[in-house]
Structure 1
Amino acid sequence: MLLNVSERGPDHPTPADALPVVLLHGLFGRARNLGFVQRKLATTRRTLAMDLRNHGNSPHGPMSYPAMAQDVLDTMAHNHACPAIVLGHSMGGKTAMMLALTHPSAVRALIVVDIAPAQGGFDRLDLPENLDKIQFPAHLDLHGTNDLLRPFIANDAVRQLMAQNIRQGDNPGWAIGLPEILAAMPDIMGWPQLAPGLRYDGPTLFIRGENSPYISPKNYPVMQALFPNHRLESIHGAGHWVHADAPRRFTELVEEFLADIP
């Protein structure tokens, strides 16, 4: 499956050996959610932010991490972006890890944002099961979208995240593959059984939010086994949405890591 791509790059030509950067958003997000870091990196590098399947403007279909990793690989190849440095947040981080483990030659370096290769994540997105049964009016604007979602989603941040996934104007509705996403939630929250001995030896950076529970000491052994050439950085005061809570420090860590990639 070829994914929708938002590409940015510098105004001047980049060196022929400059590696592109692929950016992968989290659950119920879309490519533009990583816009701040993409804009910063695009001043010196080619960047490709992708809508993962069932999200943004990408096609819909059954979800699993192997399938999503294959989507990313196919889209990278289609856009002549192999190998690349791959950065993923949350669900996008698990997709990036799966890509690096199964197709290491396509991933020159890996950045995983606030998620571990394990069960966990997404408890702030405790969505009602009947979200896909919402009755939409004949016309909807942003204010009306917020009012429509409020009885279902009390958390303001989560409600705003979900609002971007609703088609507004005349004939409104879900713009994403919501039934496919909800059906895949156990797999999305989990981590698949891997073949024995599988690991990624490339340079890897894990970035966690200090106030987030999704990377903890109990995850360190599997992180070391799968990604032996990794380091872990923690951002003070940040939660799960690290890139939104501390965008400058987050971008600083990413740029420092990229500067060390040959």
Structure 2
Amino acid sequence: MQLNFKKTGDTGKPLIILHGVFGFLDNWLTISKTIADHGYQVFLVDQRHHGRSPHEGPLDFPTFASDLKAFIEDQALENPILVGHSMGGKTVMQYAVTYPGTFEKLVVVDIAPRSYPIHHTDILRGLNAIELATLASRHEADEVLSRYEPSLTVRQFLLKNLYRKDDGGFGWRFNLPLLTTDMGNVGAPVESDVQIKTPALFMRGAKSDYILDEDWEAILAIFPNAVLETIPDAGHWIQAEQPKLFVEKLISFLEKPI
């Protein structure tokens, strides 16, 4: 599986960023340049079934973790720093428990290792209600989606995945049919009988309910050297809502000696 990626920065410690569900690497382009300016080689990766990576095979975290392992080996990266947001955070946690000792630090953005119920049902209904075969414009797609998702910000995020194909029609950057049938796998827990003692940073938005106070005990059970940062005035999309503070907390953690 050859994953699509973009690299920012020519020197420094390798740092890999994985996006969340319905996302792709373009969501992180601006912030990756800021991180690279601090002396890191930043690799933005489209996970399987998202972006320009292949839309084939299963949709589950063991597969995503295996994809990440293959990417690290293909790029000959030695002990990279792993950063993942939401679904991407689950991927890097699964990677950590499956391939311990192969990375330098772990950063998990607004997700815990516990199980989450499916909560994108209306979004999936809205996306599937958009008839790509007859779709005339992005505006028309937004009109359909607005019946299911009231937030303009969320709709704009989702519709970034809508693109013009070579034949002039529209397509999705994510594998909508598989996300529709297998979305439950995105909420699957990350479990481990072994503690991962590599330094880990968990970041949560103060306005988000993805990492609750009661999740912390379970996080420490797997990642005993984890620290928690709560970012004020931010929801689930910390890096978009508080980019300056996100980078500040990230770099502070990365520059601490192991």
Give the TM-score of the pair, scaled to structure 1: 0.89
For 1:125 and 1:250, how far apart are their aligned partners in 2?
A: 29
CA contact (8 A) 2:129 2:145 kept: no
Other structure's SS at 1:26 match = coil
In structure 1, the partner of 2:49 is: 54
Other structure's SS at 1:88 match = strand
For 1:128 and 1:139, how far apart are their aligned partners in 2?
A: 17
Other structure's SS at 1:56 match = coil
Range 129-138 or range 109-118, more displaced: 129-138
In structure 2, the partner of 1:119 is: 115
Q: Deviations over 1:140-166 (max 9, x none)?
A: 443333234223432212211210122
Cα gap change, 1:130/1:142 in structure 2, threshold over 3 Å: closer, same or farther?
A: closer
Q: Deviations over 1:28-48 (max 9, x none)?
A: 001121223311121211110
CA contact (8 A) 1:97 1:117 kept: yes
Other structure's SS at 2:68 match = helix
In structure 2, the partner of 1:41 is: 35
**Alpha-carbon offset, residue 190 of structure 1:** 2.4
Question: Is 1:187 paired with 2:185?
Answer: yes
**Alpha-carbon offset, residue 167 of structure 1:** 2.0
In structure 1, the partner of 2:235 is: 239
- The equivalent position to 2:220 in structure 1, one of 200, 224, 234, is 224
For 1:46 and 1:27, how far apart are their aligned partners in 2?
A: 24
Q: Deviations over 1:80-116 (max 9, x none)?
A: 1232000000000000111111112222100000000
CA contact (8 A) 1:73 1:106 kept: no
In structure 1, the partner of 2:17 is: 23
The amino acid across from 2:188 in the alignment is G
For 1:41 and 1:66, how far apart are their aligned partners in 2?
A: 28
Range 90-99 or range 135-144, more displaced: 135-144
Q: Which runs of 5+ in 2 are unaligned?
A: none
- Percent identity between matched residues is 33
- The equivalent position to 2:175 in structure 1, one of 174, 177, 197, is 177
For 2:50 and 2:80, how far apart are their aligned partners in 1?
A: 22
For 1:37 and 1:220, how far apart are their aligned partners in 2?
A: 27
Question: Is 1:86 paired with 2:82?
Answer: yes
The amino acid across from 1:2 in the alignment is Q
Q: Deviations over 1:202-231 (max 9, x none)?
A: 010000000100111221111011000110
Trace 1:68-79 onto structure 2 (pairs within 5 A): 68-79=64-75
For 2:187 and 2:217, how far apart are their aligned partners in 1?
A: 19
The amino acid across from 1:187 in the alignment is N
Give the TM-score of the pair, scaled to structure 2: 0.91
State the superposition RMSD in angstroms.
2.0
Cα gap change, 1:144/1:182 in structure 2, threshold over 3 Å: closer, same or farther?
A: same
Cα gap change, 1:149/1:126 in structure 2, threshold over 3 Å: closer, same or farther?
A: closer
Other structure's SS at 1:117 match = coil
Q: Which runs of 5+ in 1 are unaligned?
A: none
The amino acid across from 1:162 in the alignment is L
